[in-house]
Amino acid sequence: MPRFHWKGRSAAGHDIEGDTSAVSNDAVVAQLRGQGIVVTTISMIGGAEAEPSGSGAPASAADARPLSLSERLARDRARSKPRPFRGALIASVFFAGALALGYFVPVVFVRCERAAESVTCTVSEKDLGLVTIREQSLAGVTKVDVESRAQPLAEGTQSRLVLASAAGASIRPSNWDHFGSGVRSSASGRQTGESEPTVGATTDAMRREIAAFLEDSTSRSVSSWQGQYVPLVIAGVLVGIGVLILGLSGLALFKGPTDWVYAMTGRLAAAADASRRQRGR
């Protein structure tokens, strides 16, 4: 029986070669395919090298069958090249989405400091709590209050903090929180306590803290912050996905980690192919 020398790529993506006895080169290709190996060149020992018939028009029924999962994986890896810049671009889209969401629903920080007999308060609105978008300061603050309005298209109220000076000037966050006072109107018109979708302090809690600070002349400073739960969770998920994509893109630049990932994937693909063949018997 003739012997053939072949070269190919394993299911794990490694270049391999060897010698196999078979009646023809088509039989060698079919035999190696069953082992998850994609043959690239084959030659009879003592004869000329030739492309395996599987690379052109199929010469037998075995070559005409669809490629297995492990074969497709090896083929795709042989054809593809790492594209780290594409991964970085995709990651930047997720980061930009998180920043855009954080811009429209910023985290609010309030800090009041006492100097002599005067209190100066600063309201900062930060994108994701990191990048300052707007900042307002007011000296001579003597009063803190909460203004509320009916929530558009929904039952309940929206609230925001208001800091005022003796001269009548005032500062407040640009955005309203949802149910920030910790109350909601029931169908009967009565207000009922309910957990609010905020992280940090509620608007009413911030008002109480600052009011206590204004009354206590011995206190030097007070600070508080507030964010909206749902936008922060969504932004966190977007950032997490972006970091994951960026990390995988970075790994693609190094052969060792890439080979390990493909080896693990190749084993899973080979196991799936073996399970499929068992079910087909």
What tens digit of pLDDT does each residue of 12-46 get? 677 888 888 887 877 888 888 877 788 888 888 86
125 and 215 inside one domain: yes
180 or 52: which carries more pLDDT confidence? 52
pLDDT at residue 189, as a whole number? 39
Cα(57)–Cα(207) distance, integer angstroms: 78
117 and 198 inside one domain: yes
pLDDT at residue 81, as a whole number? 61
DSSP category for residue 253? T
> Mean pLDDT across the stretch 83-93?
83
Per-residue pLDDT at 126 exceeds 70: yes
257 and 222 inside one domain: no
111 and 206 inside one domain: yes
**Would you put residue 108 in left (φ > 0), alpha (ψ -120 to 50) or beta?**
beta
Question: For residue 123, is it within any domain?
Answer: yes
Question: For residue 95, is it within any domain?
Answer: no
pLDDT band at 58 (very low <50, low <70, confident <90, very high): very low
Per-residue pLDDT at 195 exceeds 50: no
Q: In terms of residue numbers, what domain contains 210?
A: 106-226
Task: Specify the amino acid at residue 237.
Answer: V
Question: For residue 38, is it within any domain?
Answer: yes
Sequence-ordered alpha helix ranges (H) in the chain: 25-33, 61-64, 69-79, 84-104, 203-215, 229-251, 255-280
215 and 117 inside one domain: yes
pLDDT band at 111 (very low <50, low <70, confident <90, very high): very high
Question: For residue 234, is it within any domain?
Answer: no
- Least trusted range by pLDDT, from 70-84, 162-176, 218-232: 70-84
pLDDT band at 75 (very low <50, low <70, confident <90, very high): low
Question: For residue 62, is it within any domain?
Answer: yes
Question: For residue 92, is it within any domain?
Answer: no
**Would you put residue 6 in left (φ > 0), alpha (ψ -120 to 50) or beta?**
beta
Decide: 228 and 197 in contact? Cβ < 8 Å. yes
> Mean pLDDT across the stretch 88-99?
93
Cα(32)–Cα(38) distance, integer angstroms: 7
Decide: 60 and 77 in contact? Cβ < 8 Å. no
> Mean pLDDT across the stretch 97-105?
93
Cα(57)–Cα(55) distance, integer angstroms: 7
116 and 189 inside one domain: yes
Domain total of the chain: 2
Per-residue pLDDT at 259 exceeds 80: no
Question: For residue 233, is it within any domain?
Answer: no
Query: Model pTM?
Result: 0.60
66 and 130 inside one domain: no
Question: For residue 186, is it within any domain?
Answer: yes
Reduced to 3 states (helix: H, G, I; strand: E, B; else coil), residue 279 is helix
244 or 279: which carries more pLDDT confidence? 244
64 and 143 inside one domain: no
Q: Average pLDDT over the chain, rounded to whole?
A: 79
